[in-house]
Amino acid sequence: MYHPSASTSHPVAGSAAGVLDPAAADSKDAILFQRCTWCGTAMYHRLLCPVCQGSELRTERSEGVGTVRHSTVVHRNTPAARNVSLIEMAEGFVVRGRVMGPPIGIHSGDRVRLSTAKDPVRGEPVFQLLDEPYRAWT
């Protein structure tokens, strides 16, 4: 069985590539994700499709709109409290990131939009709320 060496060229984004190509983004404020060419499942930073175990993954650019699925407040290793949220993007994949605003004010079901693809400190995506929450004392 032949295995290609690391010195050979590999296909880039737009074709079936197993890894994300950071040069494929038009701007720095974009999230790149993968879509399986066999079953169409969207995923974030995977080597194999979690549904069909296929290795032919196509790199695509996300629109940047999603919904908060879970949010928690973290007090560890930071001078101030911050939130860590799981965001389900409109394309169908889930990404971990931070939502701007008061950490206690972020709830499941809030709609968000990508603000920055990489936070300079933590390296994770940063989102902002699309709609102001209309909650009474919750």
Residue 6 has pLDDT above 70, yes or no: no
Query: In angstroms, rounded to a whole number, what is the distance separating the alpha carbons of residues 120 and 28?
Result: 12
Residue 21 has pLDDT above 80, yes or no: no
User: Cα–Cα distance between 99 and 11 in angstroms, integer?
Assistant: 34
Q: Are 111 and 69 in contact (CB under 8 A)?
A: no
What pLDDT, on the 0 to 100 scale, is given for residue 33? 94
Count of CA atoms in the C-beta half-sphere (13 A) of 78: 11
How high is the mean pLDDT of the chain? 78
pTM above 0.85, yes or no: no
Range of the domain at 44: 32-61
CATH number for the domain spanning 70: value is: 2.40.50
Q: Are residues 69 and 123 in the same domain?
A: yes
Residues 82 and 115 occupy one common structural domain: yes
Confidence (pLDDT) at 38: 92
- pLDDT tens readout for residues 124-136: 899 999 876 555 5
pLDDT of 90 over the 60 cut: yes
